[in-house]
């Protein structure tokens, strides 16, 4: 049974990664791949190391799924959000709805976390661009 779960999870993860166009950066795509990665990681981790393994797997899977589908500039933020959301969602889902709730929670947590992390990263880049423009104008006009 553990081997079947492991093979099914690995197949699901590989399929989700292959379905993603690496060059496209779409919020829905980031959320979906992070959710699928988190569920696959949860299943693999649970079969290998119980609840602790499932938590670690959900974090790694959520981060990996988000990183695969996000663009280069926002990859780190999406991965951190996906990982933290996956493990948090698994923990809450497991306490509310058992094993099935853990899988649902990890998927929802990773999806939401990766989108939030991506958005924070994009906002940070926009703020940096705005600051650089203001500082160039200031230097140019006051010399």
Confidence of residue 126 (pLDDT cuts 50, 70, 90): confident
Q: Could you tell me the pTM of the whole model? A: 0.72
Tell me how crowded residue 123 is: count the other CB atoms within 10 A of its CB: 11
- Residue 128: predicted pLDDT: 77
User: By the 8 A CB rule, do 36 and 16 touch?
Assistant: yes
Q: What was the pLDDT predicted at 12?
A: 56
Cβ atoms within 10 Å, residue 12: 17
Q: Domain spans of the chain? A: 2-141
Contacts of 104 by beta carbon, 8 Å cutoff, 6+ apart: 93, 97
99 C-beta neighbours (distance < 10 Å), count: 14
Structure confidence at residue 23 as a pLDDT band (50, 70, 90): very low
What is the rounded CA–CA span in Å between residue 45 and residue 47?
A: 5
pLDDT in tens, 76-122: 999 999 999 999 999 999 999 888 899 999 999 999 999 999 999 88
**How far apart (Å, rounded) are the C-alpha atoms in residues 139 and 98?**
60
Judged against a pLDDT cut of 90, whether residue 25 lies above it is answered with no
pLDDT in the model for residue 10: 56
Name which residue leads in pLDDT, 7 or 37.
37
| C-alpha to C-alpha distance for 77 and 68, rounded to whole angstroms | 12
Which residues contact residue 21 at a Cβ distance below 8 angstroms, ignoring those fewer than 6 apart?
A: 29
């Amino acid at each position: 049974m553990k081997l079947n779960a492991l093979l099914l999870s690995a197949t699901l993860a590989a399929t989700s990664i292959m379905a993603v166009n690496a060059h496209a950066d779409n919020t829905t795509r980031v959320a979906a791949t992070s959710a699928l990665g988190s569920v696959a990681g949860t299943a693999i981790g649970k079969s290998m190391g119980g609840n602790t393994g499932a938590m670690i797997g959900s974090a790694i899977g959520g981060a990996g799924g988000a990183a695969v589908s996000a663009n280069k500039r926002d990859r780190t933020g999406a991965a951190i959000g996906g990982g933290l959301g996956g493990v948090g969602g698994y923990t809450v889902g497991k306490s509310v709805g058992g094993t099935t709730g853990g899988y649902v929670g990890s998927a929802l947590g990773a999806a939401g976390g990766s989108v939030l992390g991506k958005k924070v990263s994009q906002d940070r880049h926009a703020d940096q661009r705005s600051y650089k423009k203001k500082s160039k104008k200031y230097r140019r006009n006051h010399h």
